[in-house]
Structure 1
């Protein structure tokens, strides 16, 4: 049995593709090799590459019981360039430029109705001396219908 991709997977893929198309980072669904200047985009957790990284995650926060509208938090974790503390903010503001204020954007079978940054939190640095931060975006979504929410 093959389980189909969830609307959340498709939404995060659409966000990754949007960031890639804007030149903010490089998204690959395969075993990509990243160039030394590439900002690698991942879903879920960081990877063991030396590149700066954008890591996307989704948190459902509110789903209407009768209609397909809902809200969630798009978490964008960012690791900068080693020994360049300002690079994490440079990447973060490039992401901000693409996502903050985004409206009516198809994301697989869902539609991002509105995306607004909630906060940006410094998270220290990793063992490779890359500064880290986590940005959270409030996202209103029109999800695809289900048998309970036509």
Structure 2
């Protein structure tokens, strides 16, 4: 297969540098690869993480930064440790958000957060969001 064969469908309607930036090159490359290789990439670098609530959140990968997952704090209640990628070799940084989707804390060690800083965050959030559940032991 040539470059034109696999990339052309992703370039339909591209007529400027701005529209070229909107092309999802990663998606095009994954579509080009064989299914077994796609599966292996997904095992190493999953695009999403399934939360205890059942919903899935996108893992953000940026060059020079740790993989990150932004999630409302309540959605990780019940989770004892931080998620990992690269078959457990790389910890995902959790950006824990308030019920209003505002950043509260970033951690790559969820167990330590639950046993430490969470107690202060819980006090503040209980006052600000009294209708939400703030368990004593969220893990």
User: Based on CA coordinates, which of the two structures has the bigger radius of gyration?
Assistant: 2
The structure that is strand-richer by fraction is 1
Q: Same fold (TM over 0.5)?
A: no
The structure that is helix-richer by fraction is 2
**TM-score when scaled to structure 1?**
0.25
